[in-house]
Amino acid sequence: MDGQQERDYTPPIMEGDNSRSGSVLLGHLTITVLLIAAIWIMLRWGLYQFGPSLWPYYVTGGIALAWQLYSMGLPRWKGLFKRYDLKAKQTEDVAQHAGLMRPGIGAIGSFAFHTTAAAVCGIHLGPWLLSRWFVWVLPLIGISPGTSRADYWLQHLEVVSVIPALVAGFVVSRHFEELSSWAWAVPTIILAYKLLIFTDAHTSVLASADPWSRFSYYFVIQQHMPTFSDFWYSVSDPLHVTEQMIVTVPFYSGVAYSVGALLRENKVIDRIVSGHCREPEAGPEEAGIERIENSTEDAAYENK
């Protein structure tokens, strides 16, 4: 090898290191930047579409979306290192050193996913199913509802919020089990904060406030939805109804979702079904009669 060739020669290891650095940069551009963009877009979309009242669930929804993108993008990024003949352990070391793999990412994503799913069940899925009941089922069986959908929802808010979330928690936890029983945490924290800072606008500052008024404000559900036509003489306070919709409903659905996940985790439904399908055991009297009949048949057979 002459001097010119020696100057132009580049060791293969250096080439591999440069390629790996390019792959790490590509990973940050396609994974890290994409995850941050997903959270920001979800937050901005929620604020634009529904307002700031439900912003914690916009954040959890963005984290859940970013987690799904991360779960799809990271294996593809690891596939880039197969060309360098790296083993799986070496690839994970590179990913951890580059900051693309962090402990707890899966748990955070799963927690955000279940929290968002429970909130969607209470805020959107329950009212949507109720509207389908009014549009599809009642006309089919020839029943005319005596109240509006909004009033009917408020009058049955607990059932409409709990049942869809209970079923969803049971079904979704079959596929995404991690932290599925913790969907109650964020709604409970929000409710506790609201109870802590609650002040009754209708109570004088000098008068002693009823300690249970804050609980009744969120758990004694209004029976009628305020409308523009009866805004000035409606028996329901619009702010009161709004607080119950954005605080109480997610709390109910979050608890129900977690209970559904626990039912599946402890196989409660399977135990109930297997208990009903199991043949009843013979009682002591029936068992005694059966033994006497068997002994009689054996004695008759021996006499023959």
Burial readout 156-165 (b: 16 or more C-beta within 10 A, e: otherwise): ebeebbbbbb
Task: Using a pLDDT cut of 90, give the percent of the chain over it.
Answer: 45
CA–CA–CA angle 73, 77, 82 (5° rounding): 145
What is the token pair recorded at 60? 């959890």
**Sign of torsion, CA 132 135 141 144?**
positive
pTM of the model: 0.79
pLDDT at 302: 54
Distance CA 103, CA 111 (A): 14
At which residue do the structure tokens 């100057």 appear? 7
pLDDT at 288: 53
pLDDT at 297: 54
Distance CA 225, CA 234 (A): 9
Q: Does residue 186 carry a pLDDT above 60?
A: yes
What are the angstrom distances between the C-alpha of 279 and each of 267, 285, 291?
A: 20, 17, 19
At 58, is the pLDDT very low, low, confident or very high (cuts 50, 70, 90)? very high
Residue 133: closest CA among 151, 149, 154: 149
Amino acid at 47: L
Q: Does residue 278 carry a pLDDT above 70?
A: no
Distance CA 289, CA 304 (A): 23
Of 174 and 29, more confident: 174
What is the token pair recorded at 95? 């990913």
Length of the chain: 304
Residue 109: closest CA among 70, 74, 77: 70
The answer to whether 234 touches 221, Cβ cutoff 8 Å, is no
Distance CA 47, CA 58 (A): 8
The answer to whether 67 touches 39, Cβ cutoff 8 Å, is no
DSSP 8-state assignment for residue 144: -
pLDDT tens by residue, 213-234: 889 999 999 888 887 666 555 5
Of 32 and 68, more confident: 68
**Which own/partner contact pairs does 29-35 have at CB distance under 8 Å and 24+ positions apart?**
30/73, 30/77, 31/69, 31/70, 31/73, 31/74, 31/77, 31/100, 32/99, 32/100, 34/66, 34/69, 34/73, 35/66, 35/69, 35/70
Write the Ramachandran bin of 71: left for phi over 0, alpha for psi from -120 to 50, otherwise beta.
alpha
Lowest mean pLDDT among 8-22, 98-112, 148-162, 238-252: 8-22
Distance CA 131, CA 149 (A): 7
Lowest mean pLDDT among 84-93, 168-177, 188-197, 277-286: 277-286
How many Å separate Cα 17 from the centre of its chain? 42
pLDDT at 206: 44
Q: Does residue 160 carry a pLDDT above 90?
A: yes
